[in-house]
A and B are shown apart, each in its own frame.
Chain A
Amino acid sequence: MTDNGRYAVIGKPLPKVDAASRVTGQAVYADDMLLPRTLHCRILRSPHPHARIVSIDTSAARRMPGVHAVITGADLPIKFGILPVTQDERALEHEKVRYVGDPIAAVAATDEEIAAAACDAIAVEYQVLEPVMSIDAALGRPKDERIQDYGGPNNIHKLVALEFGDVNGGFARADHVREDVFFFQGNTHLPMEQHSAVATYIDGKVTLWSSTQVVHYVHRALAKVLELPMNRIRVIGAAHGGGFGGKTDPFAHEIIVAKLAMITGRPVKCTLTREEVFYAHRGRHPVLMWVRTGVTSDGRITAMHFKSALDGGAYGSYGVASTFYTGALQTVTYDIPAYRFEGCRVFTNKPPCGPKRGHGTPQPRFAIELHLEKIARDLGIDPVEMKRANFVKPMTRTVNWMRVTSCGLEECTELVMKASGYRERERRSGRGMGFAISSYLSGAGTAIYWNDMPHSEVQIKVDRGGVTAYCGAMDIGQGSDSVLAAVVAEELGLQPKDIRLVTADTDTTPIDLGSYSSRVTFMAGNAALEAARKMRALLVEAVEASGRKYEEVSFEEASVLAEARFGTLTTAGSYTPPKIAGPYKGSGVGPSPAYSYSACVVDLDADPRTGLIHLNKVWIAHDVGRAINPLLVEGQVEGSVYMGLGEALMEEQTFRKGLHKWPSMLEYKSPTFLDMPDVETFIVETNDPEGPYGAKEAGQGPLLPVIPAVNAAVFDALGIWVDEVPVTPEKIVEALRRRDKGEPPRYGPQRFPEIPYPPTIKVDPPPRDLDRAAAASI
């Protein structure tokens, strides 16, 4: 499928455009900035998981030498939040705290030590309330009071119930019906860089540099809470030290430093400690899942009913979207003719959960992949072949109205099957291989706040032989700057290093909605393509007017001819996703202009005495549509495999009495160089009809199949099911002990709680054929 010969830049494994600044230590991250007269900020945080604030006395802190300002919630009373429907956070809380770490007061001082000492000098009187620490507790009646004053009943945040097609009929038609319960423990992003922000206030304007994934959402939150028009605020993305979804919400410290800069008239910086980063969180939701599926005797799915319960933590964050995501994408990999989804998110007194790589979909992906494995074994058929028989086909619509265009599931599966030798694998106790597939969005088809404007815009300026591309997209290390440069360079006949970039600056760049939901290559890439093609047309016209061809003259000469002919050379391009959401409430979560597909095989040794797992190798194939830069695609795939292995085997964000059990990089286990096996990566190019040069996403999808592939490999090795993530040695040993006692050879949740789901909204499925469906949906 490749036609790389057509392109000079696209498809070439070029170094990242910012590589030199990264390897020389010259990239300026937010905490590297030191403006003259900078004040340093520390934040006082709640030691209680749930408490009313009776009083806050800052007088002693204010008197301390070196302290320039102390603020509390009374100074920043306006609530904000990433989703319009859950504006439930304050930069500083002065009425009630809802998790250990909830910010209460902030100090700006001449150095960090004085600021920290001043925080210690602030006296807060609390009325401690009973904390709610589990899904079960949140579903029950609160002992003292509810965590939030919306949602409900009890501490339920969100309930969803949707049905597509004839689910009862599908189950009636089935030869075999199976139910399973799974639990996916929460985990966190653990970016190497702690969140950091620096603000100035000059001439009535706030400027904020931050390690954020989304300058635009920070811009909006600042405008709301600071009560300033957006044109008086400038947000700039500093060099970024890793996000993975953890820097996608607007954060309290970003608002606090801006407010402190407004009060003091001096630059103010706040860098979170590693412990604070663990409490800032917004990571993977712990999710309890129940799934019931009907199949024919030859393994074709007739109906599926999926229930999820998400432990959301104390605030909304992206939680409503996360809830829908636990039900949205099951149908995008498997052809499910009738599907019912019931979702629930609860509030608990823990740091809020939000989006982490794969946002809301790794948990159900884990569940559905293992569930289908078990069904295949019930039927006595090969799990891989059974899954394959149910693969979704390209150019179709799913029963829940997701539009599938390009789909490389078959190619991906065949590649990892062949390379791993899965079918011919050695069968002996203690050694196992597991297989799983997945899919992910190339950007959400709908914006977080509903509007009809483009999701990404790019401007190009050509001036005296130089090309500059402007875009709001934030490079968080994934290489979005390199993609922009590659697209513009390809169209203009240049190399990426010839393109100057101005990105992620709300004053100087047009909007891009940011680095989340794997949207940047697809959306900013398409915007850049449009802008670059318009620029090329101007250059070509000017050159041809001189009687020559564009390819015959130097770029410098072409730009002089065009500037002389047209004046200032600027073009713009934008990208708005097609309106493909289905006709039902909640249909905005899940649609994407294109889905990536992955398939993975994990090979491991599992020691039945100790439960220890040794990873031998991982094979992964990823349908990226087209690799604009295969080096960067491989990097995203390998990084996804790594993060998936960490989640599968060791990473856990858990709490005891409201306190994080291990808020340090030593105790929060993540894979090291020694844990990471070799990975063989295959890039599959299906040339998506709407992606730039056919490209789709690569940064999130490849994480998803890794986790269930590990669990499946553990079953292959030892004959036990660990229906939980992470798969720790003690769970393996316990499952083996149960097997030896004659009990079911399984470790995992026993039951799914009673949840007061609302009446199910029944949605008629769309026509399956894409062309007719597209017409019907307009």
Chain B
Amino acid sequence: MNGERTELLLPVHKTLLEVLREDMQLTGTKHGCELGECGTCTVLVDGKPELSCLLLPIQIEGRAVTTVEGLASGSRLHPLQQAFAELGAAQCGYCTPGILLASKSLLDTNQRPTRDEIREALAGNLCRCTGYMKILEAIELAAERMSTHSPSPLAGKEGMGRISDR
């Protein structure tokens, strides 16, 4: 869990979303529908975006889970968080953790996605405040900064980037 080995004893029917929020105090992960419809509760499991409201703890045994609390390095924001803050991509901020994680997964596999590729990757995440525009701009800014600061030999080749850094 966010890079730490974690052992929990849980009722089998609890969802990962409930476990995160209620048993681990990781309340950065939000709920919008609890039916897998809105993307709000998105977390990364082995680097891939998953809806925590549809996962049972047994399904993630032995796997790496990243929540919004695991994005920053200490008090240093992840470039996506930085760009979201700078460009006003978070208004009420409720959908933001899920969108940040889905975006991270995208940039981990595609360092310079086109706007259409970003739209496609985030199509399962609803936001009611921003009209999505500032989010698109923030992801593009973060992608630019991340690829400039840490150039990869595969940069620019879509779908060929490195997998999760976790």
Which residues of A line the B interface, CB within 8 A?
A: 15-16, 18-29, 31-32, 34, 189-194, 239-242, 244, 273-274, 476-479, 631-632, 634-635, 638-643, 664-666, 670, 672-674, 676, 678-679
Min C-beta distance of A205 to chain B, whole Å: 26
Q: How far is the CA of A241 from the CA of B68 in the complex (A)?
A: 16
Bound complex: CA A189 to CA B118 (Å): 25
Query: Is A635 in contact with B88, judged by CB distance below 8 angstroms?
Result: yes
Query: Nearest-CB distance from B129 to chain A (Å)?
Result: 5
Decide yes or no: A23 and B37 within 8 Å by CB, A192-B92, A631-B87, A634-B134 being known contacts. no
Cβ B125 vs Cβ A23 within 8 A = no
Chain B's closest residue to A240 (CB) is B92
Chain A: which residue is nearest B86 at the CB level? A15
Contact B133 A24 (CB under 8 A): no
Known: A274-B34, A477-B129. A673 touches B122 (CB 8 A): yes
Contact of B88 among A15, A27, A241 (CB under 8 A): A15
Residues of B within 8 A of A632 (CB): 88
14 contacts between A and B (CB under 8 A): A19-B85, A24-B68, A24-B69, A24-B72, A25-B29, A193-B94, A242-B92, A477-B91, A631-B87, A635-B130, A635-B134, A638-B134, A672-B123, A673-B123
**What is the predominant secondary structure among interface residues of chain A facing chain B?**
loop
**Do B30 and A29 touch across chains, with their CB atoms under 8 A apart?**
yes
Query: Are B93 and A477 in contact (CB-based, < 8 A)?
Result: yes
Task: Tell whether B4 is near chain A: CB-to-CB under 8 Å.
Answer: no
Q: How large is the interface on B (under 10, 10 to 19, 20 to 34, 35 or more residues)?
A: 35 or more
Which of A15, A192, A670 is most buried by chain B, counting CB atoms within 10 A of its CB?
Answer: A192
CB of B141 closer than 8 Å to a CB of A: no
CB of B37 within 8 A of CB of A192, answer: no
- Contact A666 to B37, CB < 8 A, known contacts A192-B126, A631-B87, A641-B131: yes
B128-150 toward A: CB 8 Å interface, digit per residue (1/0)? Answer: 11111111100000000000000
Q: Which of A24, A31, A192, A194 contacts B127 (CB 8 A)?
A: A192
Tell me the nearest residue of chain B to A681, going by C-beta: B133
**Measured between C-beta atoms, what is the minimum distance from B126 to chain A in Å?**
6
List of B residues within 8 angstroms of A634 by Cβ: 88, 133-134
CA distance in complex: A752, B77 (Å): 58
Would you give the shortest CB distance from A644 to chain B, in whole angstroms? 9
Q: Does B60 make an interface contact (CB < 8 A)?
A: no
B133 and A679 form a contact (CB under 8 A): yes
- B133–A678 contact, CB under 8 A? yes
B107 interfacial by beta-carbon distance below 8 Å: no
B96 beta carbon closer than 8 Å to chain A: yes
**B71 closest partner in A (C-beta):** A24
Determine whether the beta carbon of B93 is less than 8 Å from that of A476: no
- A23: chain B residues at CB < 8 Å are 68, 77, 81-82, 84-85, 90, 93, 96, 100
Instruction: Return chain B residues, CB-CB under 8 Å to A641.
Output: 131
CB neighbours (8 Å) of A665 from chain B are: 32-33, 35, 37-38, 126
Residues in A with CB closer than 8 Å to B94 are 29, 191-193, 241-242, 477
B93 lies within 8 A of A672 (CB): no
Q: Counting CB contacts under 8 A, is B119 at the interface?
A: yes
Most central of B33, B40, B119, B125 by chain A CB within 10 Å: B33
Give bound CA distance, A310 to B82, whole Å: 45
Whether the pair A20, B85 counts as a contact (CB closer than 8 A) is yes
Q: Tell me if A242 and B129 are in contact (CB < 8 A).
A: yes
What is the bound-complex CA distance between A93 and B18, given in angstroms? 32
Q: Which residues of A contact B88 (CB under 8 A)?
A: 15-16, 19, 479, 631-632, 634-635
CB distance from B11 to the nearest CB of A (A): 10
Question: Given the complex of chains A and B, what is the CA–CA distance between A664 and B35 in angstroms?
Answer: 9
Pairwise interchain contact A192-B38, C-beta atoms closer than 8 A:
yes
Residues of B within 8 A of A (CB): 21-22, 25-35, 37-38, 40, 67-69, 71-72, 77, 81-82, 84-88, 90-97, 100, 118-120, 122-136
On chain B, the residues within 8 Å of A20 by CB distance are 77, 85
Please determine whether A194 and B68 come into contact, CB atoms closer than 8 angstroms.
no
In the bound complex, CA of A580 to CA of B91 (Å) = 33
Contact B128 A192 (CB under 8 A): yes
**What is the chain B residue whose CB lies nearest that of A25?**
B28
Write out the residue numbers on chain A whose beta carbons fall within 8 Å of the beta carbon of B68.
23-25
Residue among A15, A21, A479, A670 with most chain B CB within 10 A: A15
A773 to chain B, nearest CB (A): 38
How far apart sit A352 and B76, CA to CA, in the bound complex (Å)? 46
Closest to B94 in A: A241
**Which residues of B have CB within 8 Å of A19?**
84-86, 88, 90
Partner of B69, one of A16, A25, A274: A25
Inter-chain CA distance A415–B92, complex, in Å, is 30
Known: A25-B29, A673-B118, A674-B123. Is A479-B91 also a contact (CB below 8 A)? yes
| Least distance between B139 CB and chain A CB atoms (Å) | 10
Distance, CA A479 to CA B32, complexed state (A)? 22
Q: Which residues does chain B contribute within 8 Å of A31, judged by CB atoms?
A: 31
> Smallest Cβ distance from B56 to chain A, in angstroms?
16
Give min CB distance, B118 to chain A, whole Å: 7
The residue among A28, A190, A674 with the most chain B CB atoms within 10 A of its own CB is A674
Query: How far, in Å, is B62 (CB) from chain A's closest CB?
Result: 24
Residues from chain B with Cβ under 8 Å of A239 in the complex? 93
Residues of A within 8 A of B30 (CB): 29, 192-193, 241
Q: Using Cβ atoms and an 8 Å threshold, which residues of chain B touch A479? A: 88, 91
Q: Which residues from chain B contact A676 at a C-beta distance below 8 Å? A: 119, 131-133
